[in-house]
């Protein structure tokens, strides 16, 4: 009798944990993602026709998970199965004779089996006389001629097969990049949710809004960085929502910085500190009201949900995303920022502000994931901090001057007006020195 046989090795599995039975090991997230993306294409040579098709699996967890992914890929190709996935102990025990007996006893003429090595290689060697190198997720298709068994169960002639085709398994590491990127995005979104809760609980603590803003900007940097690989519409929506949310907090942050500088300056009147604190408190109440409004809460929840559930572009999901591609984009980003820094005219306030933001983004991305970007990304991030701090001092000085000018439009006590005029001059002096 003749049957078509597909022999498959399970996908990339988790490393064994101490005390864990080998049978209980699962596929890695990247391994499952890789097989889900690649199996439909790996099966493109499969021609089942009207054959009755079955899937057999080793009872090991990683093999059963692989079998379900195989089942989904066959369904996508509109190849019907006779029944659900069957588990066969002979595949776990790597019993070739037992497997061949099960094969003879089956009434199916097309069988896909998911097992392990060395069984997968050994059974192909036994039947076809050649051994393809089965990486995880690899599979081959054979046309098998099974010898008839006699009354004692022994075959009267040798079983043999013809190797029709072989497909090597996907490199799971190319999909692990997606897993690591998503993990970093999810972690940052969860931190932002905690920061928002902390600000609402204690808005008088100026560090709560600062941390909230920093993490929002971090997430914006991550989202901008993954733009080439993320669904374009989702990326644009996420960036727009995050920009809107952080925009509500910008003036409060500037007022907090001004108040901090006022408190740190010797000789200023207590009325000046109180005046700045009052202005910041008014803005803080305004920001709190906005961030807890129904409309902004919905926008915030939507942004966090998008960050936690990235939709990757189909072409990258199909082929994977090697870490070297991510690193190349990172290198291009750093080179671009360094070029901007080397040609920056600090007298151009708008340009300085823009380059500062780009330096921040480069720093946040450098801190993104050392596992993807490489160990030197930590040093690169530290270098960006120096640039960011220098430009930040310049931008803060300009913001202080603008806020002080706004204060002077109102009636101020003489002592407050005098102190603010003095601070304005200090900031002007700092800018002159920086621009020189």
Indicate the pairing of strand 139-145 with strand 160-167. Answer: antiparallel
How far apart, in Å, do the first and last CA atoms of the chain sit? 90
Report the pLDDT value the prediction gives residue 46, as an integer from 0 to 100.
86
174-435 homologous superfamily: CHAD domain (1.40.20.10)
Contact of 219 with 182, CB cutoff 8 Å? no
262 vs 378, residue with greater confidence: 262
HEC string of 261-279 equals HHHHCCCCCHHHHHHHHHH
**In b/e form, how buried is each residue of 219-230, taking b as 16+ CB within 10 angstroms?**
bbbbbbbbeebb
Q: Compute the distance between CA of residue 186 and CA of residue 397 in angstroms, rounded to an integer.
A: 35
| Backbone Cα Rg of the chain | 32
With 0-12 CB in 10 A as exposed, 13-18 as middle and 19+ as buried, what is 335? exposed
Look-up of token digits 């190198």: 133
174-435 shares the fold of 2-171: no
Per-residue confidence band for 266, with pLDDT thresholds at 50, 70 and 90 = confident
Contact of 93 with 120, CB cutoff 8 Å? no
Contact of 263 with 273, CB cutoff 8 Å? yes
Q: Compute the distance between CA of residue 81 and CA of residue 79 in angstroms, rounded to an integer.
A: 7
375 vs 354, residue with greater confidence: 354
Query: Which residues in 76-187 belong to E strands, given as ranges?
Result: 86-87, 110-115, 139-145, 160-167
* Stretch 137-144: mean pLDDT: 94
Report the pLDDT value the prediction gives residue 208, as an integer from 0 to 100.
93
329: left (phi over 0), alpha (psi -120 to 50) or beta: alpha
Report the pLDDT value the prediction gives residue 384, as an integer from 0 to 100.
83
Q: Compute the distance between CA of residue 419 and CA of residue 148 in angstroms, rounded to an integer.
A: 103
How is the chain split into domains, by residue range? Answer: 2-171, 174-435
Express each pLDDT in 118-129 by its tens digit.
999 999 999 998
Quote the crossing angle between the two packed helices 270-291 and 173-201, to the nearest 10°. 120
Report the pLDDT value the prediction gives residue 109, as an integer from 0 to 100.
87
**φ/ψ of residue 353, rounded to 5:** -60, -40
Token output for 180: 């690591």
Instruction: Spell out the long-range contacts of 103-106 with Cβ–Cβ below 8 A and sequence spacing 24 or more.
Output: 103/3, 103/5, 103/144, 103/146, 104/1, 104/146, 104/149, 106/3, 106/54
Q: Which of 11-15, 308-312, 364-368 has the lowest mean pLDDT?
A: 364-368
Contact of 87 with 58, CB cutoff 8 Å? yes
**φ/ψ of residue 2, rounded to 5:** -120, 145
Express each pLDDT in 192-202 by its tens digit.
999 999 999 99
Q: Compute the distance between CA of residue 73 and CA of residue 8 in angstroms, rounded to an integer.
A: 13
CA 170 vs CA 35, 138, 325, 383: distances in Å: 7, 8, 17, 37
152 vs 420, residue with greater confidence: 420
Report the pLDDT value the prediction gives residue 155, as an integer from 0 to 100.
46
CATH number of 2-171: 3.40.50.1240
Report the pLDDT value the prediction gives residue 156, as an integer from 0 to 100.
44
Give the SS3 label for residue 86: strand
CB half-sphere exposure, 124, CA atoms < 13 A: 26
Tell me the torsion sign for CA atoms 94, 100, 101, 105. Answer: positive
Give the SS3 label for residue 142: strand
Token output for 179: 């897993």
Report the pLDDT value the prediction gives residue 343, as an integer from 0 to 100.
92
Q: Which of 232-246, 321-335, 372-386 has the lowest mean pLDDT?
A: 372-386
362 vs 10, residue with greater confidence: 10
Single pTM value for the model: 0.86
């Amino acid at each position: 009798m003749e049957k078509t046989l597909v022999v498959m090795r399970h996908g990339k599995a988790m490393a064994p944990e101490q005390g864990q039975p080998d049978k209980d090991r699962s596929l890695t997230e990247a391994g499952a993602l890789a097989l889900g993306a690649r199996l439909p294409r790996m099966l493109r040579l499969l021609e089942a026709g009207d054959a009755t098709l079955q899937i057999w699996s080793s009872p090991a967890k990683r093999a059963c998970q692989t079998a379900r992914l195989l089942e989904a890929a066959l369904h996508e190709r509109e190849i019907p199965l006779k029944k659900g996935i069957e588990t066969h102990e002979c595949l776990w025990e790597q019993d070739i004779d037992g497997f061949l007996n099960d094969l003879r006893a089956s009434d199916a003429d097309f069988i896909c089996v998911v097992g392990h090595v060395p069984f997968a290689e050994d059974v192909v060697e036994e039947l076809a006389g050649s051994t393809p190198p089965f990486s995880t997720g690899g599979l081959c298709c054979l046309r098998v001629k099974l010898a008839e068994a006699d009354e004692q169960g022994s075959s009267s002639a040798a079983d043999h097969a013809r190797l029709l085709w072989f497909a090597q398994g996907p490199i799971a590491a190319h999909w692990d990049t997606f897993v690591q990127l998503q993990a970093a995005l999810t972690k940052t979104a969860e931190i932002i949710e905690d920061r928002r809760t902390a600000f609402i609980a204690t808005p008088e603590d100026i560090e709560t809004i600062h941390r909230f803003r920093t993490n929002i900007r971090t997430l914006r940097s991550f989202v901008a960085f993954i733009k080439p690989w993320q669904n374009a519409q989702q990326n644009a929506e996420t960036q727009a929502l995050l920009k809107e949310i952080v925009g509500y907090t910008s003036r409060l942050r500037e007022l907090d910085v001004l108040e901090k500088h006022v408190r740190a300056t010797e000789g200023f009147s207590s009325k000046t500190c109180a005046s700045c604190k009052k202005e910041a408190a008014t803005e803080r109440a305004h920001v709190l009201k906005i961030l807890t409004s129904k409309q902004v809460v919905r926008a915030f929840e939507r942004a966090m949900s998008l960050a936690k559930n990235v939709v990757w572009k189909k072409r990258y999901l199909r082929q994977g995303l090697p870490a070297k591609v991510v690193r190349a984009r990172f290198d291009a980003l750093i080179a671009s920022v360094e070029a901007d820094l080397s040609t920056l005219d600090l007298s151009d306030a708008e340009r300085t502000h823009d380059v500062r933001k780009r330096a921040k983004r480069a720093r946040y991305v450098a801190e993104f994931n050392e596992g993807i970007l490489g160990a030197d990304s930590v040093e690169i991030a530290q270098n960006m901090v120096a640039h960011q701090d220098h430009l930040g001092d310049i931008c803060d000085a300009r913001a202080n001057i603008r806020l002080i000018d706004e204060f002077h439009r109102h009636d101020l006590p003489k002592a407050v007006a005098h102190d603010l005029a003095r601070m304005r001059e200090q900031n002007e002096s700092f800018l002159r020195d920086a621009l020189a």
